[in-house]
Amino acid sequence: MEHGAKTLREIYSQPEVWRRCLHTLDRLDLEPLVGDKDPSTHEWLFVGCGTSYYLAQAAAATFTTLTAGTARAMPASEILLFPKLVFPSERTAIFPVLISRSGHTSEVLQVAELLRQRGIEFLSVTCDGNELTRLSMRTLKLPVTEESTVMTSSFTSMLVALQYIAARFAKQNEFVDALHSLPTALDELLPIYGPQVEQFAQRSFDDVAFLAQGALYPIASETALKIMESSSSYSQFFHTLEFRHGPKSIVSEKVLVGALLSETGYKEESAVLLEMKDLGGCTLAIANQLSPEVRRSADLAIELDLRVPELARLVVYLIWGQLLGSHLGLRKGLNPDAPRHLSRVVTLAG
Ligand code: F1P
């Protein structure tokens, strides 16, 4: 099989996969799954490893913004090593949500065991199921089959599902409608920007940094992780305005600075990107609507033009980093389907 064929197929399959997941969610009775865990009375604690941890952060940002409740995200290892950080008081009602594509990652399974021992009910969100399903009383298993080592459609589908649940709690039917409109919107964007990202990836970079703020920050984190996994290049992520506080000293013409620009913080965030261009960096701008100066100055400018609430756009911001990672890997002669040193699941011995 051609290098990267599996991963690229899975990236391009996302409109179809989202449609399938939304169809499943529309038919699902959420009441027995989460009905008694209203975020106004329970703190939702999203847990995962790697890509699933960034997904946990994006889900927590969505719950905090859409519902009146509080939500947090933690890597599974943190709960195992520092449980006091997570369970500060017996009085706080928490509802953990364990996220794992494979349902097979050791640290996540160990957290499931720990929660069972403490008698804390939790929800598992997964694509494959596996042991996690057997340890869970409540499971949301999505119809996503992903063969690739790196997570692409599984990330976006599980995030769409968790956003769907948050919107249901918040009684925001228009948000659910917005999620339903994403597959068609992405179908239209892929033929426009897919080839542009591929072309852009023919350049080589010494360093890569992705910037974002708010709910887009975990999406920038996952973008950087995709670049690392698929192209074995080191890539970092920062809150956009933090980039001025030191990191900008890496900027040169061989450094890619990518910004996922929010609508809320557009003025302040785009000023950082324009400044990095002035310092000689290569810039990539992704925004829902681009201002003329950013469109002019960026080396690659992607305009999503989605007519949905800002928070419902998260998954569409990620597609371009998924593609960029794969194409950078291919340009380096690597196989993004089989990233160096990585396996599909991290299983710890003992
Ligand atoms: C989590 C994960 C992936 C990563 C790698 C190893 O998997 O860390 O994010 O790309 O392949 O596993 P999972 O718990 O969601 O299956």
| Tens digits of residue pLDDT in 15-26 | 999 999 999 999
Alpha-carbon distances, residue 116 vs 30, 120, 174, 273 (angstroms): 22, 6, 36, 47
Residue 349, C-beta contacts closer than 8 angstroms, at least 6 positions apart: none
Nearest CA to ligand 1 atom 11: 344
Closest CA to 287 of 237, 213, 225, 226: 213
Q: For 107-131, b where at least 16 C-beta lie within 10 A, e where not — what string?
A: bbbebbebbeeeeeebbbbbbbbbb
In this predicted model, what pLDDT tens digit does every residue of 272-325 receive, in sequence order? 999 999 999 999 999 999 999 999 999 999 999 999 999 999 999 999 999 999
Q: Is 102 in the pocket of ligand 1 (CB under 6 A)?
A: yes
Identity of residue 256: L
Is the pLDDT higher at 129 or at 56? 56
Q: How many Å lie between the centroid of ligand 1 and the Cα of residue 163?
A: 20
Q: Would you give the distance in Å from CA 69 to the centre of its chain?
A: 21
State the closest ligand 1 atom to the C-alpha of 229, by its place in the atom list counted from 1. 10
Identity of residue 63: F
Distance (Å, whole) CA 148 – CA 229: 12
Phi, psi dihedral angles at 96 (to 5 degrees): -75, 145
In this predicted structure, the answer to whether residue 8 has a pLDDT above a threshold of 90 is yes
Q: Is 154 in the pocket of ligand 1 (CB under 6 A)?
A: no
In this predicted model, what pLDDT tens digit does every residue of 117-128 receive, in sequence order? 999 999 999 999
Model pLDDT, residue 90: 67
Q: How many Å lie between the centroid of ligand 1 and the Cα of residue 277?
A: 34
Distance (Å, whole) CA 151 – CA 218: 15
Q: pTM for the full model? A: 0.97
- Per DSSP, the three-state class of 118 is coil
In this predicted model, what pLDDT tens digit does every residue of 222-274 receive, in sequence order? 999 999 999 999 999 999 999 999 999 999 999 999 999 999 999 999 999 99
Model pLDDT, residue 350: 66
Q: How many residues does the chain have?
A: 350
Identity of residue 38: D
Domains in the chain and their CATH numbers? 5-171 (3.40.50.10490), 181-331 (3.40.50.10490)
Beta strands in the chain (DSSP E): 43-48, 71-75, 94-100, 123-126, 138-141, 207-212, 235-239, 255-260, 282-287, 300-303
In this predicted structure, the answer to whether residue 349 has a pLDDT above a threshold of 90 is no
User: Residue 191 half-sphere exposure, CB side, CA atoms within 13 Å?
Assistant: 4
Distance (Å, whole) CA 95 – CA 40: 11
State the closest ligand 1 atom to the C-alpha of 48, by its place in the atom list counted from 1. 14
Q: Is 221 in the pocket of ligand 1 (CB under 6 A)?
A: no
